[in-house]
């Protein structure tokens, strides 16, 4: 199914990363935001030693003394080697050293953003009797899953996090994997919930309910990180491969890395199955890492809005067509499986819940399914991948045009997906279990400020006694709203996690809704324009202006716009963020821009995926 890629075919090739970002400073909307070169990290390298080196730490120290450089991470499990800040002379000397297999420049990598979420229903987890998803934390999937991401909020009541480790250093060449690593972004916590949110009657439930989560922070809170950090996380997981049998990496770059390829291959050989996101560029995944790696489970994103086959679901949080390939998803014959990745509700830091879209949201569905297979006794990563693809169904429309209809994840077969379970925290069988159900508002619903929203629910003590009148309703933004079985209320703007609960016996339920100011909501890219000024000939300055409008077509001011501008002639690229002015325009500048043709990609609008936009481009 996957095309094998020889490491030798791309050894030494360094491609500019086109989707990855360093920390950016906000700039005033009145002035164009400067764009800076991105991708390869100048002066920092990953040094891979020969496989027969016995003690990579000792070799790293000896080489550092000989050539006067500072070593960082030492890799001993997924590969033999280290990261280091090197001068050109030191780099060349190491290339000639007989103990060194190869060296490569470090690169930037970035993230690819209890009702039962639509994704859980769409992969038929509810149909699997072995999972027993019923809102009661009586049993949990007996598996360990590492999440290599921005960290996980270990205090979230819907997640069972057993260990947190931080492999994201303060600079490219300083750092080691240390205990801790809070999720200041939210991405990793969201991924974790889709994998393994506990079936406990609150918030959401994951594909592998209650599986043990290992938080491996390899990205900063802005969602970016260095390739050397990613490899350090893989090395940390590989050292614990006897326990951690599944890992999720919802991250990547349009790049190649021989060191990353080697680390993943060795980790898979040690017994770890990796689920990775295909990427969100609507391109062939063959140019993206780690999606292109032949040993991982590469996951594309399905647009599904109702948790059901048939293509009849109406769009909710973003415009797309139900039961088709998400319009942002990468595609191609390297894809192993598709999974829901549009408008996915999952856990969020601060005991909250949020809806996000992306192949980052699709991959953890596959990671949860892999955890179920591992808990079912299927240990070999290649067999895990084969069983996932063979069990998938084709009951969806592949709109990619790549000639390959990948299977859609399906865990409904209770004979194949039959995991060993461990006891949860709920009441023992035979004891009464209280329940709360929210009938209104619907999960994922949207309202305007000033709307009178109907809140309606019911509660039961598990023995037939109606406790609906005792319900207490709260909002994550507005606090306590009201009490009782039904009422109407107006809420302030924002994304609200609405919780209804009873205290004795204790039970609760939650939904997430969005309240917007009139005239706001979806943001649209109206146009991208180019203008040159100053300088002479090839030294003229280039200003790129992005016009943003709201759903009603009015200029949208105060919108944070993140872009990558690429010179398709030379291969150079620049990055930047700016904020739209009152006319809805955000501007970016490249001084003394080189001749060639330019294209602009809108990466995020207010931190969210903006969807596809066809840039007319500019040629000088």
CA-to-CA dists, residue 329 to 5, 87, 195, 488, 612, angstroms: 22, 39, 20, 39, 10
588 pairs with which residues across the strands? 33, 544
Cis preceding linkage at 4, omega within 30: no
CA atoms of 332 and 278, how far apart (whole Å): 9
Residue 360 annotated as catalytic: yes
* Residue 265 contacts residue 290 (beta carbons within 8 Å): no
Cis preceding linkage at 75, omega within 30: no
CA atoms of 472 and 498, how far apart (whole Å): 11
Residue 284 annotated as catalytic: no
Strands 524-533 and 541-549: antiparallel
Strands 506-516 and 446-448: parallel
CA atoms of 114 and 255, how far apart (whole Å): 38
| Helix, strand, or coil (residue 609) | coil
Residue 291: name the closest of 401, 366, 344 by CA: 366
In the chain the first and final C-alpha atoms are separated, in Å, by: 42
- φ, ψ of residue 523 to 5 degrees: the values are -105, 135
Residue 391: name the closest of 406, 377, 375 by CA: 406
Helix, strand, coil percent values for the chain (each to nearest 5):
15, 35, 50
| Eight-class DSSP state of 262 | H
Of these residues, 83, 360, 376, 573, which one is catalytic?
A: 360
Of these residues, 187, 293, 365, 593, which one is catalytic?
A: 187
Helices (H), 243-358: 258-269
CA-to-CA dists, residue 307 to 126, 251, 446, angstroms: 11, 25, 18
Which residues in 250-323 belong to E strands, given as ranges? 251-252, 273-277, 297-303
Strands 144-149 and 212-217: parallel
Lookup: tokens for 294: 């032949």
* Residue 7 contacts residue 258 (beta carbons within 8 Å): yes
* Residue 225 contacts residue 168 (beta carbons within 8 Å): yes
Residue 149 annotated as catalytic: yes
Of these residues, 149, 295, 320, 336, which one is catalytic?
A: 149
* Residue 263 contacts residue 48 (beta carbons within 8 Å): no
Residues identified as active-site: 149, 187, 360
């Amino acid at each position: 199914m996957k095309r094998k890629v020889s490491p030798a075919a791309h050894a030494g090739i360094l491609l500019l990363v086109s989707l990855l970002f360093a920390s950016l400073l906000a700039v005033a909307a009145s002035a164009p935001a400067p764009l800076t070169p991105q991708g390869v990290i100048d002066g920092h390298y990953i040094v891979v030693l020969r496989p027969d080196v016995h003690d990579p730490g000792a070799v790293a120290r000896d080489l550092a003394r000989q050539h006067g450089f500072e070593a960082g991470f030492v890799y001993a499990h997924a590969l033999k080697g280290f990261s280091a800040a090197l001068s050109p002379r030191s780099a060349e000397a190491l290339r000639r050293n007989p103990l060194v297999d190869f060296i490569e420049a470090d690169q930037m990598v970035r993230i690819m953003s209890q009702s039962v979420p639509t994704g859980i229903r769409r992969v038929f987890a509810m149909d699997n009797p072995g999972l027993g998803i019923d809102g009661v934390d009586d049993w949990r999937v007996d598996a360990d899953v590492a999440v290599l991401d921005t960290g996980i909020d270990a205090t979230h009541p819907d997640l069972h996090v057993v260990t947190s480790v931080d492999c994201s250093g303060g600079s490219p060449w300083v750092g080691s994997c240390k205990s801790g690593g809070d999720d200041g972004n939210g991405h990793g916590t969201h991924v974790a919930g889709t994998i393994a949110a506990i079936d406990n009657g609150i918030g959401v439930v994951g594909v592998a309910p209650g599986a043990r989560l290992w938080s491996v922070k390899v990205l900063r809170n802005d969602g970016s990180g260095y390739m050397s950090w990613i490899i350090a996380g893989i090395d940390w997981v590989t050292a614990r491969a006897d326990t951690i049998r599944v890992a999720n990496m919802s991250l990547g770059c349009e790049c190649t890395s021989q060191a990353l390829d080697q680390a993943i291959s060795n980790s898979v050989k040690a017994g770890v199955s990796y689920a990775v996101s295909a990427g969100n560029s609507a391109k062939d995944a063959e140019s993206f890492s780690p999606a292109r790696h032949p040993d991982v489970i590469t996951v594309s994103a399905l647009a599904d809005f109702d948790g059901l086959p048939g293509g009849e679901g109406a769009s909710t949080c973003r415009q797309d067509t139900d039961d088709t390939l998400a319009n942002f998803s990468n595609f191609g014959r390297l894809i192993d499986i598709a999974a829901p990745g549009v408008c996915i509700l999952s856990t969020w830091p601060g005991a909250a819940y949020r809806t996000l879209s992306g192949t980052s949201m699709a991959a953890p569905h596959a990671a949860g399914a892999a955890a179920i297979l591992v808990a079912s006794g299927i240990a070999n990563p290649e067999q895990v991948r084969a069983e996932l693809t063979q069990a998938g169904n084709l009951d969806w429309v592949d709109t990619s045009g790549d000639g390959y209809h990948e299977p859609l994840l399906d865990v409904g077969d209770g004979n194949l997906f039959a995991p060993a379970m461990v006891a949860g925290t709920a009441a023992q069988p035979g004891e009464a279990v209280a329940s709360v159900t929210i009938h209104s508002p619907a999960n994922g619903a949207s309202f305007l400020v000033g709307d009178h929203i109907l809140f309606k629910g019911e509660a039961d003590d598990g023995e037939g006694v109606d406790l609906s009148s005792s319900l207490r309703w709260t909002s994550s933004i507005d606090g306590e709203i009201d009490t009782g079985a039904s009422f109407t209320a107006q809420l302030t703007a924002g994304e609200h996690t609405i919780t209804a609960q009873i205290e004795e016996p204790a039970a609760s339920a939650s939904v997430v809704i969005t309240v917007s100011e009139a005239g706001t909501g979806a943001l649209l890219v109206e146009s991208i324009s180019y203008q040159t000024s100053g300088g002479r000939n090839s030294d003229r300055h280039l200003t790129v202006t992005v016009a943003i409008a709201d759903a009603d077509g009015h200029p949208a001011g105060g919108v944070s716009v993140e872009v990558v501008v690429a010179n398709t002639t030379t291969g150079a690229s620049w990055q930047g963020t700016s904020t739209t002015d009152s006319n809805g325009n955000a501007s970016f500048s490249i001084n003394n821009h080189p001749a060639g043709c330019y294209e602009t990609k809108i990466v995020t609008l207010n931190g969210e995926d903006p969807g596809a936009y066809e840039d007319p481009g500019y040629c000088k």
